[in-house]
Amino acid sequence: MKIVKRIGLFLVAFVALALILAFFVNGDYKVEREVTINKPKPDVFAYVKLLKNQNNYSKWASMDPNMKTSFKGTDGTVGFVSAWESEKDDVGKGEQEIKKITEGERIDYELRFKEPIASTEQAYMITEAVDNNQTKVRWGFEGRMKYPFNLMCLVMNMDEMVGPDFEQGLTNLKVIMEKQ
């Protein structure tokens, strides 16, 4: 019986220590990648502004060819929603909505993941002219893990987990845009 009590006390102390530690862990994260595309900025912005086009270059869209998609509203305008549903956990179920457009410069989205883990994140795409025929595109998202889940930030690196997917998507976007 003493061993059971010791194990119980150890577990309680471990959980209490973890919860205390979580108060001091920053739960904010940001992932961003960029690519330079050999096309004028108006052409690139006109393409990335349309959420439906993400299915052509996003790594996540290519992970499940049987993924179901649906759309609500007018693509390329604030309020447009692109939804997806997949049996694959890597893709899951969710939607994204265009929340703000700074014409020719930036698109802000709200990502609402429903499965396998529910969360809401803010994402964006920014276009900057390098010169008349080159455009830098930055694609990223940011979020916050709430207490006590922010403790996972000690062992999970969102940049390492998601960054390569953004890189692949931007590489695909570059290939598509430069073929046009």
CATH fold of 2-179: Alpha-D-Glucose-1,6-Bisphosphate; Chain A, domain 4 (3.30.530)
Q: Which residues of the chain have pLDDT under 70?
A: 150-151
pLDDT of residue 19: 72
Burial environment of residue 84 by CB neighbours within 10 A (0 to 12, 13 to 18, 19 or more): buried
Read off the pLDDT of residues 21-55 as tens digits, 9 standing for 90 and up.
777 778 888 899 999 999 999 999 999 999 999 99
Map out the domains of the chain as residue ranges.
2-179
Read off the pLDDT of residues 57-69 as tens digits, 9 standing for 90 and up.
999 888 888 999 9
Structural contact between residues 174 and 35, judged by C-beta atoms closer than 8 angstroms: yes
Mention every residue, 6+ apart, whose C-beta is less than 8 A from residue 6: none
Structural contact between residues 140 and 169, judged by C-beta atoms closer than 8 angstroms: no
Q: What is the DSSP string of 157-175?
A: -HHHHHHHHHHHHHHHHHH
pTM: 0.84
Distances (CA, A) of 127 to 42, 44, 57, 123: 9, 8, 16, 14
